[in-house]
Amino acid sequence: MRWNVLRSSPKTTIERAIGAIALVLAALGPLVFNQYWAHQILIETFLFGIAAASLIFLSAYGGMVSLAQTALFGIAGVILGNLATRGGPGGTSKGLHLGWDPTVALVVAIAMTTAIGLMFGAIAARSIGIYFLMITLTYSVITTYFLGQVTLVSGFSGIGGINRYTPSWIGDLTGHPNRLYYVSLVAAVFTYVLIRYVVRTPFGITLQGVRDEPVRMSSLGYNVPLHRTLAFGFAAFLASLSGVLYVWWSGQIAPGNVDLPETISLLVIAVIGGLARIEGAWLGAFAFIIIQNYVRGFTFPFLGFGGTLFGGSFNTVIGIIFLLIVLISPDGLMGIWDRALAARSRVGRAGPSAEAPARTGG
Amino acid sequence: MTEAPLETRSTEPTLRVWGVGRRFGGLHAVNDVDLEIVAGERRAILGPNGAGKTTLFNVIAGDLPVSSGRIELFGHDVTAAPARKRARLGLARSYQQSRLFLNLTVEDSLYLAALGVRRGHLRPVTTRRDREMRERAREAARRVAIDDKLGEMVGSLSHGEHRQVAVAMALASKPRMLMLDEPASGLSPGERQLLTDLLLALDREITLILIEHDMDVALRVAERVTMMHEGRVIVEGTPDEIRANEYVHELYLGAPQRDE
């Protein structure tokens, strides 16, 4: 093959081509896809992809699997709802209704969520593996019950009508859902580019060292808990973007958006996409949302269950798909993709591959 | 190598260890050890398996806290200091099980080693200083002759290459004191020769402490040898004195399973 001189370049070329096609399709989105696809499936894919990317970033580059990303996503939404909305006639929505300028509210919501993430991170940073997982699960549970029980800021019914209070530079989203489509797309591309950039900076390379060998890192002079804490804060920042987009999209946020099933859903998205590569975040979100949208009404033949109870047959179907993907490829759909490409290039070269095994984790 | 005359070198201790002990439950892995190492010295620590050599390294480097005693490094009391503070004073070490960054490239690993003792770990932007660190990383790779593998993932390298990377990582931070834990283990005779040459050519400013099972490497490089057994220092002397010591022979050199 002509590419042989530049190692690993066929893969990069194919991926760049696919990425470019996806980006062009996404940019033309509302023209190419029907309304349901553009305004439901794709916006959801973009915004849940950002939340999943924050989880995958921590996992792939920091070696930390966090269950707190959904909680942070919700915290950002709730803060924005409290700051931006005004209590109006007929408004049954809970919350403080401070009626701040939406731009200020947006900045404060993101900043506060990042700060809470840093605090969460500082506590969890000294734990690893299952202990880290449990601590972050605790954050998720605490957040759900805090929002449910503190009726001043949320209550179980949550805050509604948030999408009516958007910054003037974005404009009305309810009347012009294409605006939200592009805002979400830009945020998703921004998140992807930012992560790809950050992992090559001193901070990012250091984080990968911490992932591989924390003990070695301290004896090289690094403050390992501080690095983990800051990485967690960065991931909280990304999760907050996703939370803000979510409340602009759905208009409301309630404890039910951050509870255990939702926390697990985000983990499922990240695992289906693949915990080792950032691209997996949007791939996983897309697969998840497609399945969610199209199998809801599906009834299992002979077994007869399905229908609309307990989310319809969706949970069963997604569970089976999740199981299959994890069994076939621990690195999710991106892992299957990597292996397919590796196999293809082996066949292409028709000889023993001199290349290292497909690397995972950055 | 001929011994450098001691008078020309500073005799100020780089490392002082007083009555250091480390217990694991009922086991005294290191027991009441005194050690004094002057600047620029080449010291080998020998002893059979389980003598406490690596544990002594771990407490000196700060990877393990001491159970008793005091440690002074470059004139600072570091008994309670974390490993990263000791690294910043100029101490670099390697590990017996190499503890390498298997998912990073050789260059990134050496870059991390060079950056660790500097400021700016948390910078989310790449600057000119990083180019300097990368140059330093490549220089360390050249010193151990691994510069042809700079772009390779560490996880894809051979055992011998892992040992080279481990030594290069210890060098990349430009340390004042270098502690190597069995750098020659698992190396081919040719690789051992390269390693010995590298250690002999090491800048005299750098103090070197070496744990080594390979007596050829250890006794050629070291000027003084500390012999440990069951957590204690039993003999200290020049390589010739160690070779001549009957107790050492009985304990180690004459043992049927000479570890070479």
pLDDT in tens, B165-213: 999 999 999 999 999 999 988 888 988 898 899 899 888 999 999 998 8
Q: Residue A92 has what pLDDT?
A: 58
**DSSP assignment letter at A98:** B
pLDDT higher than threshold 60 for residue A310: no
- Same structural domain for residues B78 and B108? no
Q: Residue B84 has what pLDDT?
A: 93
- Comparing B8 with B164, the larger pLDDT belongs to B164
Residue that terminates a domain, selected from B140, B174, B208: B174
Distance (Å) of CA A169 to CA A101, A103, A173, B200: 12, 9, 11, 67
- Distance, in Å, from the CA atom of A224 to the CA atom of A207, rounded to the nearest integer, reads 9
- Same structural domain for residues B30 and B151? no
- Same structural domain for residues B180 and B80? yes
Q: Which of A78-92, A202-216, A300-314 has the lowest mean pLDDT?
A: A300-314
pLDDT digits over B227-246, tens only? 999 999 999 999 988 888 88
pLDDT higher than threshold 80 for residue A201: yes
CA atoms within 13 A on the CB side of A43: 24
A293 confidence band (pLDDT: 50, 70, 90): confident
- Average pLDDT of span A310-320: 75
Mutation site, B64, B88, B103, interface A, largest A CB count within 10 A? B103
- Same structural domain for residues B30 and B53? yes
- Distance, in Å, from the CA atom of A266 to the CA atom of A47, rounded to the nearest integer, reads 11
pLDDT higher than threshold 80 for residue B36: yes
A176 token code pair: 């012009």
A4 confidence band (pLDDT: 50, 70, 90): very low
Q: What is the percent of chain B with per-residue pLDDT over 70, rounded to a whole number? A: 92
- Average pLDDT of span A129-147: 96
Q: Residue B254 has what pLDDT?
A: 56
- Decide: residue B178, CB within 10 A, 0-12 exposed, 13-18 middle, 19+ buried: buried
Residue B84 makes CB contacts below 8 A (sequence gap 6+) with A218, A219, A220, A221, A222, A223, B62, B116
The reply to whether A223 touches chain B by the CB within 8 Å rule is yes
pLDDT higher than threshold 80 for residue A29: yes
Q: Residue B3 has what pLDDT?
A: 46
pLDDT higher than threshold 50 for residue A256: yes
B227 token code pair: 């012999």
- Same structural domain for residues B80 and B2? yes
Mutation site, B101, B133, B179, interface A, largest A CB count within 10 A? B101
- Distance, in Å, from the CA atom of A63 to the CA atom of A129, rounded to the nearest integer, reads 8
Q: Residue A314 has what pLDDT?
A: 78
pLDDT higher than threshold 90 for residue B12: no
- Distance, in Å, from the CA atom of B118 to the CA atom of A19, rounded to the nearest integer, reads 38
Helices (H), chain A: 9-27, 29-32, 35-36, 43-62, 69-84, 102-124, 129-149, 177-198, 202-212, 214-219, 224-250, 260-273, 280-294, 314-328, 332-349
- Average pLDDT of span A66-73: 97
CA distance B120 to chain A (A): 8
- Average pLDDT of span A7-27: 83
Residue that terminates a domain, selected from B133, B156, B174: B174
Task: Yes or no: say if A221 and B169 are a contact pair by the CB < 8 Å rule.
Answer: no
CA distance A280 to chain B (A): 19
CA dihedral A247, A251, A254, A256 (to 10 degrees): -90
Q: Residue A1 has what pLDDT?
A: 36
Distance, C-alpha A106 to centroid of its chain = 19
Q: For chain A, how far is it from start to end, CA to CA, in angstroms? A: 27
What is residue B248's three-state secondary structure? helix
CATH of the domain at B183: 3.40.50.300
A200 to chain B: which residues are within 8 Å by CB?
126
The number of folded domains in chain B is 2
pLDDT higher than threshold 60 for residue A5: no
Q: What is the percent of chain A with per-residue pLDDT over 70, rounded to a whole number? A: 87
- Distance, in Å, from the CA atom of B29 to the CA atom of B23, rounded to the nearest integer, reads 6
Q: Residue A209 has what pLDDT?
A: 96
A342 token code pair: 């590796």
- Same structural domain for residues B122 and B247? no
Tell me whether residues B116 and A230 touch, CB distance under 8 A. no
- Same structural domain for residues B82 and B195? yes
Q: Please provide the average confidence, as pLDDT, over all residues in chain B.
A: 88
- Comparing A243 with A5, the larger pLDDT belongs to A243
The reply to whether A354 touches chain B by the CB within 8 Å rule is no
Residue that terminates a domain, selected from B127, B142, B174: B174
DSSP readout, B23-78? EETTEEEEEEEEEEEETT-EEEEE-STTSSHHHHHHHHHTSS--SEEEEEETTEE-
Q: Encode A95-104: b = buried (16+ Cβ within 10 Å), e = exposed.
A: bbbeebebee
Domain of B45 in residue numbering reads as 1-90+176-260
- Same structural domain for residues B85 and B102? no
CA atoms within 13 A on the CB side of A352: 1
CA atoms within 13 A on the CB side of A115: 7
Tell me whether residues B101 and A212 touch, CB distance under 8 A. yes
What is residue B96's three-state secondary structure? coil
The reply to whether A362 touches chain B by the CB within 8 Å rule is yes
**Sheet of strand B232-237, all strands in order from the earlier edge strand to the far edge:** B91-93, B177-181, B207-211, B42-46, B224-229, B232-237
pLDDT higher than threshold 80 for residue B143: yes
A215 to chain B: which residues are within 8 Å by CB?
63, 99
Q: Which of A134-143, A205-214, B155-164 has the lowest mean pLDDT?
A: B155-164
CA distance A6 to chain B (A): 13
Q: What are phi and psi of B34, to 5 degrees?
A: -110, 140
Q: Which residue is associated with the tokens 């399709």?
A: A25
> What residue segments make up the domains of chain A, in order of their start?
27-281
- Distance, in Å, from the CA atom of B45 to the CA atom of B42, rounded to the nearest integer, reads 10
B155 to chain A: which residues are within 8 Å by CB?
356, 359
For chain B, what's the residue count? 260
Q: Residue A103 has what pLDDT?
A: 95
ipTM value, please give it: 0.85
Q: Please provide the average confidence, as pLDDT, over all residues in chain A.
A: 87
Q: Residue A307 has what pLDDT?
A: 53
Residue B95 makes CB contacts below 8 A (sequence gap 6+) with A216, B166, B181
- Average pLDDT of span B110-128: 91
Residue A139, Cβ neighbours under 10 Å: how many? 25
Task: Yes or no: say if B178 and B92 are a contact pair by the CB < 8 Å rule.
Answer: yes
